[in-house]
Chains A and B, each alone.
Chain A
């Protein structure tokens, strides 16, 4: 009830002000300026109306999987994130471009991360989590960062990481809620920060030579703690 009166008073104040302004200013009065009423800026406008681009190169071994799952990649980016996406076949690149109606500034980066994750080797359904959640990260490291291994030792270490039929890798993935990609000597992890830390610790201990059973026992202890938090 008061508000309308306040509002009415405001214009009246303004009217007064204008009246006062119209009339030659005899007495200088302190008048409060009206707050400017801005509507929120669109993403487009944040970047001063300029369109932003991202280019992600496609490694040859991901070319065919990209072709297969192109639509699964395209749909969420174009429809939900409102980012233009195209594949530059000649240059073997995926190119992303903001539109004028892109709602969020960060969406372009998220999409770029999503595509990049796919290029690293993650599945689409796993990479999509990057689009949907903020706190997920991708971390990569190499085996030689942990321990210098050559030849057969390296092969054995990779074998130890994956386990028979990949069961060690899946065990780590399931218990820490991450996704792991082992590409020769490089290891990529996708997940939240704490989970990535746990997964990295397990993987490093595996590289350094501890048997899988030991790693499992440590995992169990850690993940129960992680689960209890929720």
Chain B
């Protein structure tokens, strides 16, 4: 609509674009006013085209006369910035609701198909399949603008946009099943790898193949162009990417798989497709697509059967039954074992192996089992250390260290008296020193010169007094007082007086024992101990004694008296 409106008014723009496209790239480096003029015209036309689709108009037209490149660019930027954001929004919307894409396309389908065909054919060759998804993300231009696509496809100027547009449309067309198909493919690949251990690196190719196949099968709406697209993909995609690693499986297994998996898909999506079909004007094309596709499939199948017949060994993995699969596995294992047996054994299996015969540090890796006579060292546990530490702390607090004490050596002789090294200035002069020495030698002075001597003297004095006292107490032998060499004035006292005549200690212990001393006989009782009978006896005894004495005295008296008489008489007679 918009395109038709603008289409008439921009032949000059188209011309300009053509001109630009046709110039050699080298000429762009030179300053040519023609090129700049044509560039300006082309940009103006493009701007005008795009202006219709801008959500809100900022500039009505691009003004290029007398403007700098920077300024022109700024104007374009003003237009494209909101445009880009709106486009992105729309793309995201399409992502979420793929069905809407169809509606979009259906609206715009009319004048576009041939162009698209042409365009597809061109661009498939140039682009890689991966760019589909990338382009999908990186759509800079309005994908809905078919007119622009046409023009820009033809241009090489804004080159990056062209292909993206094209693929964008196709991707959009595939898109509503795209994700699901992709997931399915991934799962298939993984499963295959897991089961047969064959790494399929042709993911993209297969994807492309599948996409192509799916397009071919499902997309009735797309019709011829899709078929061609698919064929093109099939034929070109594989060849183009990996010629050297092309395998039978790549061609046929994927085909088979996709054919198998696609059929239910086809059924599921047929409703969607059916909806679109009536809207599609090109029903002829749809009809045409089916038979062509089926023919192709048949061809492929025939090929597969041939191969199978030819090469029984080279069965593809899918054709084997479970039993055969197991047999395969066993066979592989057996082969491996045989191979291992033929090879030389690892060093661990070789019996006695010295260090030179095995690789370095290999003994560390092997878990060896051997007997050792040595008792393993005791493992220190936490309890051990705890108990040790407790003991240590206890000993420290007690102060009991079990230090080894040196046994005291017994002196054989008295320790030699050592004079201390005196580091002070001597107080005596040299003369005095010699004087002292002389005096000591000749004995004029007492010998206690050194400090140790004095101490010794004092000690000996004390000991002597002690000995004297002990002797006096214990032996009762007379020991004279210890001689003290003393230079003191002595009084002129007789020498004997110096020593005490009397012994210092006298004992009152007698020689004889008490019972030996005792002269009485019998049992001696004290006054208080006497009984009455004893007292009486004593009194009686006393009386008797007294009587006896008195009688004696009487007798003596009489004798005396008689003697006296005789004397008197005699005396008288004499006189």
Chain A: residues with CB nearer than 8 A to chain B? 123, 125-126, 128-129, 131-133, 136, 163, 166-168, 170-171, 173-175, 177-179, 190-191, 216, 219-220, 223-224, 227, 230
| Contact pick for A128, options B421, B422, B431, CB 8 Å | B431
Interfacial chain A residues near B424, Cβ < 8 Å: 167, 170, 174
Q: A230-B437, A230-B441 are in contact. Are A125 and B432 (CB under 8 A)?
A: yes
A191's partner among B419, B421, B430 (CB-CB below 8 A) is B430
Taking Cβ atoms with an 8 Å cutoff, the residues of B that contact A are: 416, 418-419, 421-426, 429-435, 437, 441
Given contacts A230-B437, A230-B441, contact A220 B430 (CB under 8 A): no
Q: From B441, which residue of chain A is reached at the shortest CB distance?
A: A230
When chains A and B are docked, how far (Å) is the Cα of A216 from the Cα of B420? 11
Whether A132 contacts B431 by the Cβ 8 Å rule is: yes
Given A230-B437, A230-B441; A174-B431 close (CB under 8 Å): no
Please count the residue pairs between chain A and chain B whose beta carbons lie under 8 angstroms apart in the complex.
64
Q: What is the bound-complex CA distance between A227 and B421, given in angstroms?
A: 13
* A227-B430 CB under 8 A given contacts A166-B425, A167-B424, A170-B425: no
Q: Give 10 new A-B contacts, CB below 8 A, not counting A126-B429, A223-B419.
A: A125-B429, A128-B429, A132-B431, A132-B435, A171-B421, A174-B426, A175-B422, A177-B430, A220-B421, A224-B418
B434 touches A133 (CB 8 A): yes
Contact between B430 and A126, CB atoms less than 8 A apart:
yes
B residues in contact with A177, CB < 8 Å: 430, 433-434
Q: Name the A residues within 8 Å of B435 (CB-CB).
A: 132
Q: Least Cβ distance of A44 to chain B in Å?
A: 27
Smallest distance from the beta carbon of B392 to chain A beta carbons, Å?
39
Tell me which of A129, A167, A170, A224 contacts B434 (CB under 8 A). Answer: A129
Q: B437: which A residues are within 8 A, CB to CB?
A: 230
3 smallest A-B Cβ distances: which pairs?
Answer: A125-B429, A129-B431, A167-B423
Least distance between A26 CB and chain B CB atoms (Å): 63
Residues of chain A lying within 8 A (CB to CB) of residue B418: 220, 224
Interface pair A126/B421, CB less than 8 Å apart: no
Specify which of A125, A132, A175, A230 is in contact with B421 (CB 8 Å cutoff): A175
List 28 contacting pairs A-B, 8 Å CB cutoff, sorted by A: A123-B429, A125-B429, A125-B430, A125-B431, A126-B429, A126-B430, A128-B430, A129-B433, A132-B434, A132-B435, A133-B434, A136-B430, A168-B423, A171-B421, A171-B422, A171-B423, A174-B421, A174-B422, A174-B426, A175-B419, A175-B421, A177-B433, A178-B430, A191-B430, A220-B418, A223-B419, A224-B416, A230-B441
What's the minimum C-beta distance from B227 to chain A, rounded to whole angstroms? 110
The answer for the CA separation of A128 and B432 in the assembled complex, in Å, is: 9
Minimum distance in angstroms from A172 CB to a CB of chain B: 10
Residue of A nearest to B416 (CB): A224
Instruction: Say yes or no: A126-B431 contact (C-beta < 8 A), given A170-B423, A220-B421.
Output: yes
**Chain B residues closer than 8 Å to A123, beta-carbon distance:** 429
CA distance A128 to B416 in the complex (A): 33
Distance in angstroms between the alpha carbons of A128 and B434 in the assembled complex: 11
Residues on A with C-beta less than 8 A from B426 are: 170, 173-174
Which one of B416, B418, B426 has the highest number of Cβ atoms from chain A below 10 Å of its Cβ? B426
- Shortest C-beta distance, B421 to chain A (Å), equals 5
Q: How far is the CA of A177 from the CA of B429 in the complex (A)?
A: 10
Q: Which of B421, B429, B432 contacts A219 (CB 8 A)?
A: B421
- List chain A residues, Cβ under 8 A from B430: 125-126, 128-129, 136, 177-179, 190-191
A223 to B418, CA, bound (A): 10
CA–CA, A126 and B421, complex, Å = 20
Q: How far is the CB of A227 from chain B (nearest CB, A)?
A: 7
Residues on the B chain within 8 Å of A163, using CB: 423
Q: Is the CB of A216 within 8 A of B421?
A: yes
Given known contacts A230-B437, A230-B441, is B422 in contact with A133 (CB within 8 Å)? no
- Measured between beta carbons, the chain A residues less than 8 angstroms from B419 are 175, 223-224, 227
A224 to B416, CA, bound (A): 10
